[in-house]
Amino acid sequence: MKIKKEAHKWLIECDHFDDFPKCLNPTSLKTNHIGDLSEGDGHNDALFTYILTLQSEGMSKDEIRESIRTINDFILKEPISDNELNIILFINL
């Protein structure tokens, strides 16, 4: 897992687990390569499409915002700026 482009180790044992984010629940059998996208690869379009997918799964606007921010911070190879992310979320939600 990466945080701010820095790789971190997975914990093998843990006493407490956080709630599993809804955005990580499978939404279809289609493979999603959103984590492999870099700047110029269309990650804005991919996030927009994923917002539509999350809406179709019945997620609330707040859950979708949190999910997209989590994807940006922890999954995207190169996270987009907060300003750009806010524009994507404002336009689509």
The answer to whether residue 32 sits within a structural domain is: no
The answer to whether residue 51 sits within a structural domain is: yes
Q: What is the pLDDT of residues 44-66, one digit of tens each?
A: 888 888 888 888 888 899 999 99
The answer to whether residue 7 sits within a structural domain is: no
pTM: 0.65
The half-sphere exposure of 65 on its side-chain side, counting CA atoms within 13 A, is: 10
The answer to whether residue 57 sits within a structural domain is: yes
Distance in angstroms (rounded) separating the CA atoms of residues 59 and 49: 14
Per-state percent for the chain, helix, strand, coil, to nearest 5: 50, 5, 45
Question: How many structural domains comprise the chain?
Answer: 1
CA angle at residue 63 from 77 to 1, to 5 degrees? 25
pLDDT value for 83: 92
Taking a C-beta distance cutoff of 8 angstroms, is the pair 15, 55 a contact?
A: no
